[in-house]
Amino acid sequence: MRPLIAVIGRRAATVPILRFSATLAAMAMCEAVYAAGGEPVVFHGLAAGPGDELAGRLARFDAVLMPGGADLGPEHYGQQPHPETVLVVPFQDTLDLEVTRAVLRSGQPMLAICRGMQVLNVVCGGSLVQHHEESTVRHRNAIHEVALTPGSRIHGIVGVERFPVSSYHHQVLDRLGDGLTVTAVADDGVVEVVEHESADVIAVQWHPEDLHATSATDHALFADLVTRADAHRSAR
């Protein structure tokens, strides 16, 4: 039986085929999980807020996938908004922050992607650069290379020290959160991977779902999440 992977849903105010708002997950994200052997399930954030039942709801799943999305509100790391900080969704911020805290407490496996890595960093006490001015490396709607730390967990997963990734972001990690280790960077020094020192959490700044069907390294991230989910389920 495929392990259940909670893909944390994104709230959309309007959807062409529906009359009302919706809870969504990117098709590529779900396809990547399924191709790796998992069963993707979109996790709905309740309109009333995460609530006391959040941990119990998450506990039904074998792993959690925290996708990308809009900018994280800077008030969560003690800053005023930058002019380029846009499309902040307070509801989504609350859900993603609380889900991440719950995962760190529970020990569930998690893969965090793009905004998901930024949320993890903030939950751990870190901060963000609200708008990264691109120089030698393009990060917004671009393909660029990342360099991994030899012997790191991510290195063991993908099996190479350098490979190209699909990137779409303008915010980057600034002050590193407690308990996190940087294990990959872009050529301009932007943090591309963090690993939690005690929780079963890996986070990447790029979008591995974009190229999962053709990139063995990106597929390996989802396969690793499914493997960790299987182990978590067996240990319960």
Measured CA to CA, the distance from residue 111 to residue 222 in angstroms comes to 8
Of 209, 212, 219, 232, the active-site residue reads 209
Of 76, 144, 169, 207, the active-site residue reads 207
- Respond yes or no: is residue 124 known to be catalytic: no
- Respond yes or no: is residue 209 known to be catalytic: yes
Q: Which of 215, 235, 192, 209 is nearest to 38 (CA)?
A: 209
Asked whether 66 and 96 are in contact (CB, 8 A), the reply is yes
- Respond yes or no: is residue 232 known to be catalytic: no
Tell the residue number behind the tokens 């990734």, with chain if given: 165
CA angle 73, 76, 80 (to 5 degrees): 65
- State the CB neighbour count (10 A cutoff) for residue 14: 9
CA angle 1, 109, 146 (to 5 degrees): 115
Q: DSSP characters for 27-61?
A: HHHHHHHHHTT-EEEEEPPPTT-S-TTHHHHHTTS
CA angle 212, 216, 220 (to 5 degrees): 80
Contacts of residue 4, defined as CB under 8 A and 6 or more positions apart, other chains included, come to 38, 39, 41, 60, 61, 62, 63, 229
Amino acid present at 86:
V
Of 114, 144, 195, 212, the active-site residue reads 114
Catalytic residues: 114, 207, 209
